[in-house]
Amino acid sequence: MNVDELFKMPKLPSGSNKRRMPDMPTPEMLKKMRMDTGAGPSSVVVPARDGASDRGMSRAATVEDVDDEMNDDVDRDFAPGGDADYFAEEDEEGRFFGGGLSREQKEILNIFDKDVSEGVHEDSQLEEMNLPAVKRLLLRFERAEKKNQDQRSKYPDDPTKFIDSEADLDLALKALLPLAQAPIIAYPELVLSGAVARLIGLLSHENADIVIDVVEVIHELTDEDVGNEVEGEEEEESKREDALKILMEGLLENSILELLVDNLKRLNEAEEADRQGLFHILAIFENFIASRPELSTLLVTKTTILEWLLTRIQAKEHDDNRGYAAELLSILLQDNRENRLALGKQDGIETMLKVLSQYHKRDPVDADEFEFMENVFDTLCSTLGEPEVKKLFLDSEGVDLMVLMLKEKKQSRSRSIKVLDYSTSGPAGTQCCEVFVEALGLKSLFSTFMSKVSKKNKTQNEDISHTLGIVASLFSNLASDSPARIRLLAKFVESTYEKTDKMLEIRDAAQVRLREIEKEIEQEKKDLEAEGEEIDQDTQNSWYLRRLNAGLFTLQTVDYILAWVAMEDDGIRAHIQQMLRRRDNSLKDIVKTLEVYRDNVDEDPSAKDSDEHSQKEILQHLIDFLDAC
């Protein structure tokens, strides 16, 4: 046995020189070896069994010897599936010849099949996991861990001394995977027995394969669906959640997040096992954040996870881990101001724009890369909710890049409109609005806006929604009588008010959708009153949200834009009034929409100290003007 090839030891815990366990020979591989022997009837030989020659030399076993030995070994189940004829060959006349496999090869197959059979047997036993069974597994793991630690300490430079204990530790770790089937019993015992601390300690093991085993176990144990293979009572569900919390607390107390991030840099993704291990690490982070969202802040502040994720998404070749890195980045920044600001400080906006720039001239090659691109765009949109990030986005020429994407008919076009909507919104988006007009973004934006809308095209409908958002922000932020604002107003006059007419068409469609939901809400209100139930504020809020999703949000945005253009241009106002009369409407209907909008606006507390007009004040001015018309 070549120990160096079987068990490579790194000098330091490094992913580039870690030990690799050899691939186990599969039955198919050994069958092929048998078929490739090409032995004829007169020349078939197999090695004699131990003790066949008293002179220390192996005699050649004839065909008849093989036949006799096969009869003696009928009860030996070394063939996969217990197939007694697995190694048998017959010629056209039905004569039997030797299998062509050496004793060592047969023995390997025997061991392989035995392990598989035992594994199936163990799985059937673990279906009814009880406390004694859990304790036995944990005791086996504890002994294997201690033995490996002792032997590595005694013989650090001689892998032959601890190779067996390493293999035993590998098996003991894999045996812990079924504990996820019984979290209520197993998880408290994991913490109480000290097994959690031992598991976390192994994340610093010299052999990266052992680290990967530990990562796989922790991933399985922390999955939010542990123990949910069969739906149970609510009480059982509550117990499972409590058990998972106990386990996670135990893992956090042993600095699991920091150690996992350290191992991200250690693993070498050129190796398949390492790629899988890294994927499991990212999944563990997602499991923790799904269970306890507040941990996302801790993960970012206490580790270098952001730095690693930003580096990983810049990889030139796309793979699953690159996609998962982008998804995890999006999760970390969701509704988290601290993490967004931390991303900005690490040049995260510049990095994401650099990644997205590759989709300016080309589309993603497949669905996985398309999902990756969407995640990076969504992450950018999420961060643009912070005023400080909008300044960084502007400084990195993000508006210019989005306008370039807007001009190209690529898949990134729709996402660039969404980013522009987020970047131009609010008082902090004023500079972005000015740069957008200077970069000639109006022409491309209204070209998209005027394209034919398909009811089945969800992306196109989203484009219209975000386009309306950009136009509303432009009216809110561009200075009166500025060249940029005049150019914006001109768009609603050119081509015989075609863009104004398109606004009115969108308004009609939104009203139709809204009427349907209003009927449903009215019926629900009558049912509640008939039952004598009080309509509380929560119910009212729920109804309002349903109205927004059903078309009220679009209606409010369109009427906000129409109010602005009507106030600033007499010709547009006259045209709007004429078109509304054809629909049995008037400016008063726009006023009603704006009043509902005004009454439900959530003001930013910081806006009170600003010299800028608040959204409520702007709405009130528009309402007053239209009322006077």
Angle at 605 between CA 604 and CA 610, to 5 degrees: 90
| Structural domain contains residue 423 | no
| Structural domain contains residue 161 | no
Least confident of 304-313, 397-406, 531-540, 582-591: 531-540
pLDDT of residue 56: 35
Of 445, 461, 457, give the one whose Cα is nearest residue 554.
Answer: 461
The count of structural domains within the chain is 2
| Structural domain contains residue 251 | no
| Structural domain contains residue 471 | no
Secondary structure letter of residue 13 according to DSSP: S
pLDDT of residue 398: 96
**What Rg do the C-alpha atoms of the chain give, in angstroms?**
35
Q: Give, for 96, the enclosing helix (H) or strand (E).
A: strand 96-97
| Structural domain contains residue 476 | no
Q: What is the pTM of this model?
A: 0.75
Type of residue found at 583: R
Taking only the tens place, the pLDDT of each residue in 73-108 is 444 444 444 544 444 444 444 433 444 555 555 555
Q: Can you tell me the mean pLDDT for 574-583?
A: 95
Q: Are 598 and 623 in contact (CB under 8 A)?
A: yes
Taking only the tens place, the pLDDT of each residue in 247-264 is 999 999 999 999 999 999
pLDDT of residue 225: 80
Q: Can you tell me the mean pLDDT for 147-161?
A: 88
Q: Could you say which of 110, 126, 142 is where a domain stops? A: 126
Domain that holds residue 102: 62-126
pLDDT of residue 234: 73
Q: Could you say which of 89, 105, 126 is where a domain stops? A: 126
Q: Can you tell me the mean pLDDT for 218-240?
A: 78
Type of residue found at 269: E
Least confident of 36-45, 214-223, 244-253: 36-45
Q: Give, for 466, the enclosing helix (H) or strand (E).
A: helix 458-477
Residue 79: CB partners within 8 Å, gap ≥ 6? 86, 87, 109, 113
Instruction: For residues 372 and 104, give the distance between their C-alpha atoms in angstroms, rounded to a whole number.
Output: 48
Residue 232: CB partners within 8 Å, gap ≥ 6? none
Taking only the tens place, the pLDDT of each residue in 449-497 is 998 766 656 677 889 999 999 999 999 999 988 999 999 999 999 999 9
Q: Could you say which of 126, 149, 176 is where a domain stops? A: 126
| Structural domain contains residue 22 | no
* Mean pLDDT taken over the chain: 82
Instruction: For residues 603 and 545, give the distance between their C-alpha atoms in angstroms, rounded to a whole number.
Output: 17
| Structural domain contains residue 262 | no
pLDDT of residue 611: 58
| Structural domain contains residue 538 | yes
